[in-house]
A and B are shown apart, each in its own frame.
Chain A
Amino acid sequence: QSALTQPASVSGSPGQSITISCTGTSSDVGGYNFVCWYQQYPGKAPKLLIYDVSNRPSGVSNRFSGSKSGNTASLTISGLQAEDEADYYCSSYTSSITLVFGGGTKVTVL
């Protein structure tokens, strides 16, 4: 199972909005509404940001939002803040009864 495709890096200025894409196939992202997003700081465990494409767990800022169109899911961070500088990973359930992650995107706040 190949990793989902994410841009290696995305940057933005404080207050701006950025979007991270996550492209898969009809066997994963496109076939199920089971895409989620994680945030990871260096040396730390990942933290769940979005599940089931667009749902936020309690406690996660509403500046984070998710969507999906076809085989591509997206994470949007609005009102970018310095604390958002981290790595972001998407994941999706697959038709092989496995889970696949994206390669990760490093977000830089300029």
Chain B
Amino acid sequence: EVQLVESGGGLVQPGGSLRLSCAASGFTFSTYDMHWVRQASGKGLEWVSAIGTGDDTYYEGSVKGRFTISRENAKNSLYLQMNSLRVGDTAVYYCAREAHSSDWNDWYFDLWGRGTLVTVSS
């Protein structure tokens, strides 16, 4: 089955760290660019970060320098290392697969995971 499954969420204090994982299955993970998108409770979607098949990385401004996206193709896994966490980082974090396109900056997502909840609170 083609799917993405996130894990690693939980409760963490402000200033703390957390590492999210996303396990991919049913497709050739190494050939896809991958993204993290988050959604605070009752709020809209917010793009967080992306990683290309060549390990090029991109970040939303508020997480740049605090979050690190990475991938391990041998394990069909995507990661998000989150440091210096803030209350405002509280959200469900989704892993998303970027659809194959002839344009490298045509970023749309044809497969999403179910998300993992990150709560930053003292």
Contact = CB atoms under 8 A, between A and B. Distances in A.
Interface stretch (B23-31, B67-75, B105-113): B105-113
Contacts, number: 66
Nearest to A104: B44
A73 interface: no
Indicate the member of A57, A97, A99 with the most B CB atoms within 10 Å.
A99
Contacts of B58: 97-98
Q: How large is the interface on A (under 10, 10 to 19, 20 to 34, 35 or more residues)?
A: 20 to 34
Given A99-B47, A101-B47, A104-B45, A45 B107 contact: no
Contact of A100 (B47, B101, B108, B109): B47
Interface of A: 1, 3, 32, 34, 36, 38, 40, 44-48, 51-52, 57, 89, 91, 93, 97-104
28 contacts: A3-B46, A36-B108, A44-B114, A45-B114, A45-B115, A46-B45, A46-B94, A46-B109, A46-B112, A47-B112, A48-B108, A48-B109, A48-B110, A51-B108, A52-B101, A52-B108, A89-B45, A91-B45, A91-B107, A98-B58, A98-B59, A99-B35, A99-B107, A101-B37, A102-B44, A103-B44, A104-B44, A104-B45
What 10 A-B pairs are tightest by C-beta distance, nearest first? A45-B112, A99-B47, A104-B44, A36-B108, A51-B108, A101-B45, A103-B44, A93-B105, A99-B107, A34-B106
